[in-house]
Structure 1
Amino acid sequence: GEDSSWAETIFDQALGTVEAGRLQPKFLRPSEGFALPMIIIAVAQELRAANPKRTKHYNALIDQLIEKIQRLFVNEEHRCVLEQTGIDGTPQFDHFEGRLLNPGHAIEGAWFIMKEARLRSDRDDYFSLGKKMLDWMWEWGWDREYGGIIYFRDVLGHPSHEYWHDMKFWWPQTEAVIATLLAYHQTGDDHYLTLFNQAYDWALRHFKDERYGEWYGYLHRDGSLSVDLKGNLYKGPFHIPRMFLEGIELFS
Structure 2
Amino acid sequence: MKSYLISIAQKYRKELRDNILPFWIDNGIDKVNGGIYTALDRGGVLMDSDKSVWFQGRAAWVFSYCYNTLDRNPQYLAAAKSCVDFIEKHCFDADGRMFYQVTAAGVPVRKRRYAFSETFAAIAFAEYSIASGEQSYAEKALELFDKILYYIGTPGLLEPKFREGFSAKGHSICMILIDTAHCIQRAVKSEKLQAQINRSVEEIRRDFMHPEFKAVLETVAPDGSFIDSMAGRTINPGHSLETGWFILEEAKYSNWNAELIETGKTIIDWSWDWGWDKQYGGILYFRDCKNRPQQEYWQDMKFWWPQNEAALAMLYAALATGDVAYIEKFKMVDEYMFSRLKDAEFPEWYGYLHYDGSVAQPAKGNMYKGPFHIPRMLIRGAELCEELAEIFE
- Which of 191, 194, 217 is the aligned partner of 1:59? 194
- Which of 275, 283, 293 is the aligned partner of 1:159? 293
Counterparts of 2:302 and 2:166, CA distance in 1: 30
Partner of 1:7: none
Given the superposition, is the C-alpha separation of residues 202 and 28 from structure 1 closer, same or farther in structure 2, using an over 3 Å criterion?
Answer: same
Larger Rg: 1
Which residues of 2 match residues 18-33 of structure 1 at below 5 A? 27-33=164-170
Find the residue that maps to 2:232 and give its secondary structure: helix
Instruction: Confirm or deny that 1:91 pairs with 2:203.
Output: no
The AA in structure 1 aligned to 2:212 is: E
Instruction: Confirm or deny that 1:148 pairs with 2:148.
Output: no
**Cα-to-partner distance string for 1:21-44 (whole Å, 9 max, x where unaligned):** xxxxx6242211110110011100
**Cα-to-partner distance string for 1:121-164 (whole Å, 9 max, x where unaligned):** 16321111011000001000000000000000011111110001
TM-aligned CA deviation for residue 186 of structure 1? 2.2
Decide whether the 8 Å contact of 2:170 with 2:218 is kept in 1. yes
Decide whether the 8 Å contact of 2:256 with 2:320 is kept in 1. no
Partner of 1:185: 319
**Cα-to-partner distance string for 1:86-106 (whole Å, 9 max, x where unaligned):** 01111001x211011100000
Partner of 1:47: 184
Which residues of 2 match residues 68-217 of structure 1 at below 5 A? 68-93=203-228, 95-121=229-255, 123-217=257-351
Which structure 1 residue ranges, 5 or more long, are not aligned?
A: 1-25
**Cα-to-partner distance string for 1:141-200 (whole Å, 9 max, x where unaligned):** 000000000000011111110001000000000000000011112222110000000011
Q: Which runs of 4+ in 1 moved over 6 A?
A: none
Q: TM-score, normalised by structure 1?
A: 0.86
Counterparts of 2:353 and 2:188, CA distance in 1: 40
Q: TM-score, normalised by structure 2?
A: 0.56
TM-aligned CA deviation for residue 244 of structure 1? 1.2
Counterparts of 1:122 and 1:199, CA distance in 2: 25
Find the residue that maps to 1:97 and give its secondary structure: coil
Q: CA RMSD in A?
A: 1.2
Find the residue that maps to 1:226 and give its secondary structure: strand
The AA in structure 2 aligned to 1:249 is: E
TM-aligned CA deviation for residue 62 of structure 1? 0.5
Counterparts of 2:278 and 2:383, CA distance in 1: 30
Decide whether the 8 Å contact of 2:216 with 2:240 is kept in 1. yes
> % of aligned pairs identical?
43
Instruction: Confirm or deny that 1:249 pairs with 2:383.
Output: yes
Find the residue that maps to 1:87 and give its secondary structure: coil
Determine which structure has greater relative contact order: mean sequence separation of CA pairs < 8 Å that are 6+ residues apart, divided by chain length. Answer: 2
Find the residue that maps to 2:186 and give its secondary structure: helix
Counterparts of 1:60 and 1:85, CA distance in 2: 23
Find the residue that maps to 1:50 and give its secondary structure: coil
Paired positions, count: 224
